[in-house]
Structure 1
Amino acid sequence: MKFLVDGIRCGDCVRAIVDAVLDIDIGARIKVDAGTRHVGIAGRMSLEQACTAIEARGFHIRSVLDGSIEDAIWNGTRPPTQYV
């Protein structure tokens, strides 16, 4: 699952998001790009759990990105979005 997250500004923000996800799914793989504000999570948690965990740390999920084009967010292209 991929997200566009408001409020990511620095390494501490990245660490807070990673910790929030790992608190729920210790085996999750997480990629956070502070520059683009994209967060990618591969693990056992549900979309709702991920959103709740990230927002509980004070961030806002701007949109859920289309998971069918996973590489697009890391290659600098703009994928289609679903607004939540």
Structure 2
Amino acid sequence: MKFEVEGMTCGHCARAITRAIHTLDPDARVDVDLPQGIVTVEGAILVDAAADAITHAGYTVRERGAG
């Protein structure tokens, strides 16, 4: 699933989002593309749950999708 995320600017942001996703699925694959503002998650997580985790980490999810 892919998310368009606002507010990511550095490695700390990428680590914070990765940690948030890993609280739901420690085995999830998380790819953070800072320049594009895209977070890709592969794992056993529902789209809404992953979006909520990103939001709770302090970032704004502008778009979410399963693809």
Would you call these one fold, judging by a TM-score over 0.5? yes
Residue type of the alignment partner of 1:60? T
- Identity among equivalent positions (%) equals 37
Whole-Å separation in 2 of the counterparts to 1:31 and 1:66 = 15
Whole-Å separation in 2 of the counterparts to 1:19 and 1:57 = 9
> Structure 1 residues 7 and 24 mapped into 2: Cα distance closer, same or farther (>3 Å)?
same
2:13 — aligned with what?
13
- Output the aligned Cα RMSD: 1.0
Computing the radius of gyration over CA atoms, which structure comes out larger, 1 or 2? 1
Listed as ranges, the gaps of 5+ residues in structure 2 are none
Whole-Å separation in 1 of the counterparts to 2:66 and 2:29 = 18
Residue type of the alignment partner of 2:31? K
Question: Higher RCO, 1 or 2 (CA under 8 Å, sep at least 6)?
Answer: 2
Give, in angstroms, the shift of residue 52 of structure 1.
Answer: 0.7
> Structure 1 residues 65 and 45 mapped into 2: Cα distance closer, same or farther (>3 Å)?
closer
User: Aligned pairs, how many?
Assistant: 67
